[in-house]
Chain A
Amino acid sequence: MEKDLLESLLSELRRGTLILCVLSQLDQSRYGYALVQSMEEKGVSIDPNTLYPLLRRLEKQGLLSSEWDTSEAKPRKYYKRTEYGEQIYEKLVEQWKLMSVGINELLGGSKDE
């Protein structure tokens, strides 16, 4: 029971940051599974069943553009940030930095009060 609660709180915590993480990796074209791997290498794991729907949604919102590569044996859909996605990404990064400073302050700064 306790483990389930921790799991759900963790996934809630992760969910908000996923878009930022995904956008960060798409300055160059990548297909879904390659993105899973590159994020994993950097220590941020994401389930394909979360990532694939998310990529479609970000595309629908105009943050990503996509292109099918059918020249290889396996057809793959490559995603990349659009110009609009670029603008949003920069704003998100800015906010993230502010937020992490603030949160670190909160977590470590209680002795100042």
Chain B
Amino acid sequence: MSEQEMIERYIYDVVKRVPQDCREEIRMELQSLIDDMCEQENSSVEEVLQKLGEPAKFARRYRDEGSYLIGPDYYDDYVWIVKIALFGIGISALVSAVVNGITNSGDVINFLVEFFGEFFETLINGSFSVIGTLTIIFAIMEKKKAKLDIKPGKKWSVKDLSKNVATVNSWTPFLLPAVPDKRAVISRGDSVFSIIFTIVFIVLLIFAPQVFGAFHYEGGKLISSTCIFNLDEWDRIVPLFVFSLFVGMVNYIVRLVIGYHCKTVMYSTIITNTVQIAIAFILLNYFPFFNVDFANQVKSMMEITTFSNGDILFYWGSKRFDNFMLLFIVLISLLDIGVSLYKTLRYNNKVDKIVEK
């Protein structure tokens, strides 16, 4: 490699890592810097470049500091939630692998092939999509926070130098977040369980919806199976359904990170439940969400002609059944909102008032 080429390579390696708009200038500056150093220090190009150090490190100093995808404030929570998510995916991969193995196998070898095939497929696909989504959620939180951080600070001026440093910063002890009332604390265990449960549910709905169904065995062999969901329309149902669960999961993550009932959690809960009711309404009214034939298929599996009217399957497929499901979802949602409203207003209201003073 000639000396000129070595210089070119070095400059290229630095310049490609700095923002587009200052590349040309930095290239010119580096070129004359290296020339000067060689001339005046009587050094070889190799020695000079050695002294300037690794291009990546050099370039890093040119970039603005403090630009994180996920900064130190959220990093621990992020890592923690990713671990929980991976755990959840592991469970769902296992469940769908077992179900897939049982429903598709004839002998042991076939079972193992189906089992491991499904296991790794779900594990890999699930991990990528869930970690990707979590990263996006946290990156957005980081960006929003960066904006919030910048907002209250006023522009620094020379005059501030002679003043007490503390006055430059607009933080005051009144901004301290309250120590939450014990009764307003949201159990981490509950949130974690909900997140894992939601992930397992989402992964299964996407990769193995047939898990939710009835299976008919005779002498250890699967004779027939039927799914409670309307798999004919599944491609159109699943995005909405998963979106609804996903909104729920974001809500649980907010709860986990914040850790107690406060206005943020309250708004998040209200929005989440409203979205979920709306989606449930659409799913139950505009699609046959459930498999209309499920009850009949179960009947033929069980070799009976009718269900008693105490049995939920007696009402399967009727408008009454869908309305009952919707009512059930609305009640659960209202209860969730009610609890959050009560705990926020009852235990956290006085805290907000101190801040206002």
- Mark interface residues in A11-36 (1 if CB within 8 Å of B CB, else 0): 00000000000000000000111000
- Mark interface residues in A69-81 (1 if CB within 8 Å of B CB, else 0): 0000011110000
A111 within 8 A of B: no
Contact A33 B161, beta carbon cutoff 8 Å:
no
Contact A49 B61, beta carbon cutoff 8 Å:
yes
Shortest beta-carbon distance from B24 to chain A in Å: 11
- The residue of chain B having its C-beta at the shortest distance from the C-beta of A90 within the complex is B158
Shortest beta-carbon distance from B19 to chain A in Å: 11
- Mark interface residues in A30-44 (1 if CB within 8 Å of B CB, else 0): 011100010000000
Contact B161 A75, beta carbon cutoff 8 Å:
no
- The residue of chain A having its C-beta at the shortest distance from the C-beta of B55 within the complex is A49
Choice from A47, A68, A74, A84 contacting B36 with Cβ under 8 Å:
A74
Contact A56 B22, beta carbon cutoff 8 Å:
yes
Shortest beta-carbon distance from B67 to chain A in Å: 14
Shortest beta-carbon distance from B239 to chain A in Å: 45
Given the known A-B contacts A74-B36, A77-B29, are A95 and B62 also in contact in the complex, defined by CB atoms under 8 Å? no
| A31 surroundings in chain B (CB, below 8 A) | 32
Contact A52 B33, beta carbon cutoff 8 Å:
yes
Contact B61 A88, beta carbon cutoff 8 Å:
no
Shortest beta-carbon distance from A45 to chain B in Å: 12
A102 within 8 A of B: no
A3 within 8 A of B: no
Q: How many residues of B sit at the interface, in one of the four size bands? A: 20 to 34
B345 within 8 A of A: no
| A50 surroundings in chain B (CB, below 8 A) | 61
| B162 surroundings in chain A (CB, below 8 A) | 91, 94
Choice from B31, B32, B36, B53 contacting A49 with Cβ under 8 Å:
B53
Q: How many residues of A sit at the interface, in one of the four size bands? A: 20 to 34
- Mark interface residues in B49-61 (1 if CB within 8 Å of A CB, else 0): 0011100011001
Choice from A32, A74, A91 contacting B158 with Cβ under 8 Å:
A91
Report the bound CA distance from A33 to B37 in whole Å: 8
Q: For the complex, would chain A's binding face be called helix, strand, loop or mixed by DSSP majority?
A: helix
| A88 surroundings in chain B (CB, below 8 A) | 158, 161
Contact A74 B32, beta carbon cutoff 8 Å:
yes
Report the bound CA distance from A74 to B31 in whole Å: 9
Contact A87 B28, beta carbon cutoff 8 Å:
no
Report the bound CA distance from A70 to B147 in whole Å: 41
Report the bound CA distance from A75 to B36 in whole Å: 11
Choice from B26, B57, B61, B158 contacting A87 with Cβ under 8 Å:
B158
Contact A52 B29, beta carbon cutoff 8 Å:
yes
Contact B37 A75, beta carbon cutoff 8 Å:
no
Contact A56 B158, beta carbon cutoff 8 Å:
no
Report the bound CA distance from A32 to B36 in whole Å: 10
A109 within 8 A of B: no
Report the bound CA distance from A48 to B52 in whole Å: 7
| A52 surroundings in chain B (CB, below 8 A) | 26, 29-30, 33, 62
B35 within 8 A of A: yes
Contact A33 B36, beta carbon cutoff 8 Å:
yes
B107 within 8 A of A: no
Shortest beta-carbon distance from B14 to chain A in Å: 9
Q: Which 3 A-B pairs have the closest CB atoms?
A: A53-B61, A33-B36, A74-B32
Task: Give the interface of A toward B (CB within 8 A).
Answer: 31-33, 37, 47-50, 52-54, 56, 68, 74-77, 84, 87-88, 91-92, 94-95
Would you list 6 pairs from A and B whose C-beta atoms are within 8 A, ordered by A residue?
Answer: A49-B52, A49-B57, A53-B61, A75-B28, A88-B161, A94-B162
